[in-house]
Amino acid sequence: MSEMISHVTIGTNDLERAILFYEQVLEALSLVRVPMERSAPFAMWNRGSEFRPAVALTVPENGQSHAPGNGQMLALLAPDRRTVDAVHEIALSAGGTDEGAPGLRPHYHPNYYGAYFRDLDGNKLCIVCHNAEGDS
């Protein structure tokens, strides 16, 4: 599936504050910040050895304020359920807002273990592991 995704861009009104939040969350998922030179304020993370897919963070280029959409969400894979728990805790400790504690969501599928939160700008994220307990 990753072959069809180039990158996902998340909007913010305060890039430096958002970078501090996302550095903690994405580092726990083994994503690394990509050093970039660019005229517009921008930050990006990837797996290091693979440039794509990537998660990008920026202020809107049209000069308007960022506003999160209803029904939009970024879901990031975790290697195991313990990582889902840890990332959710990191996000809340960094100022994120809880949107659903870590746990099974069997209405999606029997092994769907996810946690939901909003970042400092109100963007909704999910951290999810699709593996059975103990599988990674």
pLDDT in tens, 45-63: 999 888 888 999 998 888 8
- State residue 27's pLDDT score: 95
Alpha helices in the chain (DSSP H): 15-27, 81-93
Q: How many Å apart are CA 5 and CA 132, to the nearest integer?
A: 25
Question: Using only C-alpha atoms, what is the Rg of the chain?
Answer: 15
Question: Which helix (H) or strand (E) covers residue 102, if one does?
Answer: strand 97-104
- Per-residue pLDDT reduced to its tens digit, 31-45: 999 887 666 678 999
Question: Which is more confidently placed, 39 or 26?
Answer: 26
| CATH hierarchy code of domain 2-60+72-129 | 3.10.180.10
- Sheet of strand 113-118: strand arrangement: 74-77, 124-129, 113-118, 97-104
As a whole number, mean pLDDT of residues 61-72 equals 86
| Annotated domain spans of the chain | 2-60+72-129
